[in-house]
Structure 1
């Protein structure tokens, strides 16, 4: 049974961290062809960043996201492995992140996922824009 985990970078064992980063590279660089922005942007190293992931019994990471905290809480880098798609893993991670960070949360959502993020209480906040060659929309949750 896959299990949900979250921890700051220092709390993630090296093998799991490797698998998280490999999944992000697979999804964003290889599948989505995002090459104009660095996947390894240094933000994972910030002390306020927390990684969330779902891992199966064999150690494979099936889905991941990260939460960056500065003046605002940001959810990003939401990615699901091909073998984990259609099972609700990304939704579980978003719900877990929102529970861990109550209040206003921001996401730069790929525009085609606007309705999907809306299921979790995100509301569009502005016009569509291009990020990494893909249409995006800024979305926010409302404070509790």
Structure 2
């Protein structure tokens, strides 16, 4: 599957791209995970938005990227999501590789912190992230902080 990866600051997103991002995040984080929470959290304007799009322009994968000091003291990656129709193609791994690479290109080589859903611990460990601290609940979903040195 051919995916084109781009990252843009919030003000460079087209209205269609913003619509697709919000639609995908709502589909997965709110509807699929049955979690009522405030997805539009005031952080989008600070983020770089990593989009993985098909040749037809369909949003298949997405993540938010933050410079150090915006969410955590470290660079961070959040709202990591693959559209349900594209999960069987290994895009989660591609998305994380791209997110790390784009963080290094944008912010330099430094530590990256994530607040990961706990059941994905092993997935993120595969990219060099290590658990930091104990489990915490975020919107009633078990999470852990993880750091990639």
CA distance in 2, matches of 1:81, 1:97: 16
- Deviation track 1:26-49 (CA, whole Å, cap 9, x = no partner) reads 0001011221x3101110012xx1
SS at match of 1:84: helix
CA contact (8 A) 1:62 1:80 kept: yes
Unaligned runs of 5+ residues in structure 1 are: none
The within-5 A match list for 1:17-56 is 17-35=18-36, 37-46=37-46, 49-56=47-54
- Once the two structures are TM-superposed, the CA of residue 86 in structure 1 deviates from its matched residue by 2.3
> TM-score, normalization: structure 2?
0.88
Number of equivalent positions: 139
Q: Map Cα deviations across residues 73-132 of structure 1 (whole Å, 9 max, x no partner).
A: 111101111111021222222212212322100001100000000011000011111111
- Mapping for residues 63-142 of structure 1, pairs under 5 Å: 63-69=61-67, 70=69, 71-101=73-103, 102-142=109-149
After TM superposition, what 4+ stretches of structure 1 lie above 3 angstroms from structure 2?
Answer: none
**RMSD, aligned α-carbons:** 1.2
Unaligned runs of 5+ residues in structure 2 are 104-108
C-alpha displacement of 1:2: 2.1
